[in-house]
Amino acid sequence: MPYEVLQIIALLVVIAVITPLLGGYMAKVYTGERVFLSPVIRPIEVGIYRICGVRETREQRWTAYLAAVMLFTLAGMALTYIILRVQSHLPLNPDHQTDVGSYLSFNTTISFATNTNWQNYGGETTMSYLSQMLALATHNFMSAATGMAIAIAVTRGFARHSIDTLGNFWVDMTRSTLYVLLPIAIVVSLVLVAQGVPQTLSGAAIAHTLEGATQTIARGPVATQEVIKELGTNGGGFFNANSAHPFENPTPLTNLIEMALILCIPFSLTWTFGRMVGNTRQGLAIAAAMAILLVVGIGVAASAEGTGNPAFTRLGVDQAISNNAPGGNMVDKEVRFGPIQSALFATVTTGTSTGAVDAAHDSLTPLGGLVPLFNMELGEITPGGVGSGLYGMLIFAIIAVFIAGLMVGRTPEYLGKKIQGFEVKMASLAILILPLSILGFSALAISIPQGVQAILNHGPHGLSEVLYAFSSTTGNNGSAFAGLSANTPFYNVTLALAMFIGRFLFVVPVLALAGSLVRKTQVPVTSGTFPTDTPLFAGLLVGVVIIVGALTFFPALSLSPVLEHLRMIHGVFA
């Protein structure tokens, strides 16, 4: 069996093992039960509540929960913007980085606050160590914890009944950070350091080559940022090359570890959901739908990248010269990983909201690039970001049970709650927000000079680059096709707006839906109730996700990667 296939299987097995263990642990954390870390962390948790004036037992309605999310995010954004604008005057800047410009600071601030980590800059040439740690890495923890907190609030909306509160955001966010993110980050950081990832506050190293030249080698506190970048499904790299850089991802083992970090919390939260609603099979049905979409995406992308460009063979071009080596499409791939592993990493990071890359997505084959693009346009639910994947898939579950209810001619129910007009409207509104942002901003970009001038490639690939940029930012992913000069005032502003819309306008109807559900009484299960913990429902959920995505984005995709693929197989390159 090829090595690449073995690593795909190994990754899936690791996630299957981690999901119930971490999922069960998180269920205990969020319900306030004692866990093995409680003797160490509980005193710290209580101390934080006292310092911040948080009453642990005081719960919030959905409106107050949303207000707390926004207040916390805006405060963090203000701090980050200030740090970036004055970083040259602050300590821990051994390489003497200058202040970040206003437009780029604005874009970067919103990027990290929304868990997107879209980077219009090279980390090692733009950011000081203080900015990397205090502004960016801290946001990686906070934005991830915020997403997890929202997911738990939505879960309570389904699990509870006949009350008016969804929990306390400050408590949920604190527990996400202290009990889940920080312990894993500390342990895995040490593993990465042992594998060769730098962790230092010293400035760039100066090396003298055998030819007598001098080489400057950037380094810094990389390991600690690398872990939370993947674990929190953030994706912002310390280096411009991201996880293709040997200091971020030095070995095949670290490549596997980083993909496992990306997937572990999104999948584990489905188990947490099942435990909190009192039926783990409900969570497994959602996890199964996520896994099916992810595995199919991996298969399509890996096949496309492993095959490469068939036009080279027909033209008789030597494979080594054409970069269509026997291993497939090696253009802009790390030779340590190759095309299959690059396709796997690309599918994993865009199936979540991570955005980390170990290859240049701009050089993927058309179908290989279609998979990451479609993953993001589905709303990052395969399995999605930390927290956002779960509540994004629950929105589709509401639509699925609504369709099932229409089929059997009765009011749809999900987890004992009747799904009525308000819930369907909120779910539909949440689903419509993403395409309105993606397609709306893309249409604007290809219609005005400020947008067109930044497109480096003409034809369908150029359109793919624009669609990818706004799909990545609206989906809070952060990866890029890279054939777009996006560090301009127009793109810095519009992409930042897309990030904000994708994160926070989406959350409003989601929390409103949870606030409505938590007040409902539970209805008894009858012979007419459509079961939502079966393979049939998982299949229906997959179908709804694909149909909604296909109907919404197929016209645009048919003019970009699909058309590019047809042109490629017919040998049309201009």
Mind spelling out the 3-state secondary structure of 194-252?
A: HHCCCECCCCCEEEECCCCCEEEECCCEHHHHHHHHHHCCCCCCCCCCHHHCCCCCCCH
Q: What local confidence, expressed as pLDDT, does residue 523 receive?
A: 86
Whether residue 402 is predicted with pLDDT greater than 90 in this model: the reply is yes
Rounded CA gap, 135 and 112, in Å?
9
pLDDT confidence bin for 106, thresholds 50/70/90 = very high
SS3 414: strand
Domain count, the chain: 1
Element (H, E) at 413: strand 413-414
Q: What local confidence, expressed as pLDDT, does residue 524 receive?
A: 86
Rounded CA gap, 249 and 272, in Å?
30
User: Does a structural domain hold residue 341?
Assistant: yes
Q: What local confidence, expressed as pLDDT, does residue 127 receive?
A: 95
Count of CB atoms within 10 A of residue 16's CB? 12
SS3 385: coil
pLDDT confidence bin for 315, thresholds 50/70/90 = low
Residues in contact with 260: Cβ distance below 8 Å, sequence separation at least 6, in sequence order: 11, 14, 15, 18
Rounded CA gap, 101 and 74, in Å?
20
Least confident of 92-101, 310-319, 425-434: 310-319
* Mean pLDDT score, 274-300: 96
pLDDT confidence bin for 318, thresholds 50/70/90 = very low
Q: What local confidence, expressed as pLDDT, does residue 457 receive?
A: 86
pLDDT confidence bin for 573, thresholds 50/70/90 = low
pLDDT confidence bin for 212, thresholds 50/70/90 = confident
* Conformation bin of residue 379: beta by default, left when phi > 0, alpha when psi is -120 to 50: left
User: Does a structural domain hold residue 407?
Assistant: yes
Q: What local confidence, expressed as pLDDT, does residue 323 receive?
A: 45
User: Does a structural domain hold residue 460?
Assistant: yes
Q: Which residues of 499-512 are buried (b: 16+ CB within 10 A; e: fewer)?
A: bbbbbbbbbbbbbb
Q: What local confidence, expressed as pLDDT, does residue 320 receive?
A: 43
Q: What local confidence, expressed as pLDDT, does residue 61 receive?
A: 97
Element (H, E) at 473: helix 459-474
Whether residue 1 is predicted with pLDDT greater than 70 in this model: the reply is no
Whether residue 178 is predicted with pLDDT greater than 60 in this model: the reply is yes
User: Does a structural domain hold residue 574?
Assistant: no
The answer to whether residues 118 and 472 touch, using CB atoms and an 8 Å cutoff, is: yes
Least confident of 101-110, 166-175, 187-196: 101-110
Rounded CA gap, 292 and 307, in Å?
23
pLDDT confidence bin for 549, thresholds 50/70/90 = confident
Tokens of 475: 């989906």
% the chain with pLDDT above 70: 97
Whether residue 572 is predicted with pLDDT greater than 80 in this model: the reply is no
Q: What local confidence, expressed as pLDDT, does residue 444 receive?
A: 96
* Mean pLDDT score, 92-108: 93
Whether residue 316 is predicted with pLDDT greater than 60 in this model: the reply is no
Rounded CA gap, 232 and 190, in Å?
17
Rounded CA gap, 469 and 281, in Å?
37
The answer to whether residues 297 and 49 touch, using CB atoms and an 8 Å cutoff, is: no
Q: Which of 155, 110, 141 is nearest to 513 (CA)?
A: 155
Residue-number span of the structural domain to which 252 is assigned? 3-569
User: Does a structural domain hold residue 425?
Assistant: yes
Whether residue 24 is predicted with pLDDT greater than 70 in this model: the reply is yes
C-alpha angle 289/293/295, rounded to 5°?
115
User: Does a structural domain hold residue 464?
Assistant: yes
Residues in contact with 223: Cβ distance below 8 Å, sequence separation at least 6, in sequence order: 189, 190, 192, 193, 197, 198, 199
Q: What local confidence, expressed as pLDDT, does residue 322 receive?
A: 43
Whether residue 561 is predicted with pLDDT greater than 60 in this model: the reply is yes
Say how far residue 22 (Cα) sits from the centre of its chain: 19
Write phi, then psi, for 316 (nearest 5 degrees).
75, 20
Mean pLDDT of the chain: 91
pLDDT confidence bin for 570, thresholds 50/70/90 = confident
* Environment class of 573 (CB within 10 Å of its CB; exposed 0-12, middle 13-18, buried 19+): exposed
Q: What local confidence, expressed as pLDDT, does residue 313 receive?
A: 58
Least confident of 142-146, 326-330, 395-399, 544-548: 326-330
**What is the DSSP-derived secondary structure letter of residue 359?**
B
Q: What local confidence, expressed as pLDDT, does residue 390 receive?
A: 96
pLDDT confidence bin for 312, thresholds 50/70/90 = low
Whether residue 118 is predicted with pLDDT greater than 70 in this model: the reply is yes
User: Does a structural domain hold residue 122?
Assistant: yes
Each residue's pLDDT tens digit, 460-490: 999 999 999 999 999 999 998 878 888 899 9
pTM across the whole model = 0.94
